[in-house]
Amino acid sequence: MPPRRVIGIDAGGTKLLGGVVDDGLVVHHRVRRTWRGGDRAETLDIFVEAVEEVRAAAPDVEAVGFGIPALVDWELGVSRWSTHLPLAGVPFRDLMSERLGLPVVVDNDVNAALLAETRFGAARDCAHAVLVTLGTGIGSGLLLDGRIYRGSRGLGAEIGHTVVDLHGPDCQGACPGRGCLEVMASGSAIGREGLAAAQRNPSSALGRRLAAGREITGGIVTELAHDGDDTARSVLAEIGRRLGYGLVGVVNVFNPEVIVIGGGAIAAGELLLTPARTVVMERALPPAREAVRIVPAHFGGESGMLGAALLALDSPIPASAS
């Protein structure tokens, strides 16, 4: 019997990764997109184009699973609000199903990633787990008593928008808060702190790059840190400590067995995770801190895509999308 195949689409604040995935979790084709701004119509067009590109290589796919960076009403398939994309109030499931001619399932992007990590990855065999993704922003998902927690309307588990600094900077995108963990410890924050560090330390590798007129991003900071630049390493250590302060609250409130860190910024590896663990061990309540592991995502940057595919493989497709 041939394997069942679906399409999984993982969208973040600035990029999209998709692929055709079979029921053995093998990825057969991939597609990538990036964007900077754009209105709602343009954003939805990118989703459709990405699906059609991989579908052309696999016309037998049964359904499409989307993980999107939004507060999603799980039962209705509606994107209620998004910090980074113009998706507020979009009947995403039904709209995409109509445009694609395929059944569609949609959830928050980190809930999708959490599904992959709990079933086959770093949180396998755990009943209480947290996934935190560090990218343009900070996404998060909760597994409580073996079930993904979505809140009363599917809008919960936004750890990235908990306040860690009452007098901190305004948060990113459309978030009305300030001092949120997202603005303090995301991949974007690495880039901002890297730029400030380059300005303070012109003789560093970061400073020389800035003097040459080249861009300072989170990815560049991470690359130079791995190459041994002390200034870049200090940036990652500071972001790691900030992340740790955010995770202290997670450990104390939810008492998870494991906290999985994913997203593009996890490329920093132990340069980010070690200072975060140190803060957790210093500040979290002793019984909970001793029980938790803080580890990188098993599937790296593909957790969301694989989880979106699992949503399509596992979830009953609503009649309105069939």
User: Would you state the structure tokens that stand for residue 115, as one six-digit string?
Assistant: 């599904």
By CB atoms closer than 10 A (0-12, 13-18, 19+), residue 56 is exposed
pLDDT given for residue 322 in this prediction: 41
CATH of 125-297 given 2.40.110.10, 1.10.8.350, 3.30.420.40, 3.40.1440.10 = 3.30.420.40
The whole-number pLDDT of residue 38 equals 80
The C-alpha atoms of residue 59 and residue 122 are separated, in whole angstroms, by 32
How many Å separate Cα 52 from the centre of its chain? Answer: 23
Which residue type occupies 172? Q
Distance CA 37, CA 270 (A): 32
Task: Find the Cα–Cα–Cα–Cα dihedral 115, 120, 126, 130, rounded to 10°.
Answer: -40
Choose which CATH entry (3.30.470.20, 3.30.420.40, 2.40.160.20, 3.30.70.1340) describes domain 5-113+302-321: 3.30.420.40
Q: By the 8 A CB rule, do 20 and 5 touch?
A: yes
Q: What is the pLDDT of residue 83?
A: 86
* DSSP bridge pairs for 129: 143, 258
Concatenated DSSP letters of 172-195: STT---BSBHHHHHSHHHHHHHHH
Residues ≥6 apart with Cβ < 8 Å to 91: 76, 77, 78
pLDDT at residue 319 in the model: 43
Residues in the chain: 322
pLDDT at 318: 47
In the sheet that holds 15-22, the strands lie side by side as: 27-34, 15-22, 5-11, 64-68, 104-108
Residue spans in the chain of domains classed CATH 3.30.420.40: 5-113+302-321, 125-297
Cα distances (Å, whole numbers) of residue 205 to 137, 236, 237, 264: 26, 14, 17, 22
What pLDDT shows up at residue 317? 55
Residue 127: both structure tokens together: 């009943």
pLDDT value at position 320? 43
157: left (phi over 0), alpha (psi -120 to 50) or beta: left
Tell me what pLDDT residue 316 has: 66
Q: Per-residue confidence of the chain (322 residues) as pLDDT tens digits?
A: 778 999 999 998 888 999 999 999 999 999 999 877 688 999 999 999 999 999 999 999 999 999 999 999 988 999 999 988 999 999 999 999 999 999 999 999 999 999 999 999 999 999 999 999 999 899 999 999 999 998 887 778 899 999 999 999 999 988 999 999 999 999 999 999 999 999 999 999 999 999 999 999 999 999 999 999 999 999 999 999 999 999 999 999 999 999 999 998 999 999 999 999 999 999 999 999 999 999 999 999 899 999 999 999 987 654 444 4
DSSP 111-159: HHHHHHHHHHSTTTT-SSEEEEEESSSEEEEEEETTEEE--TTS----G
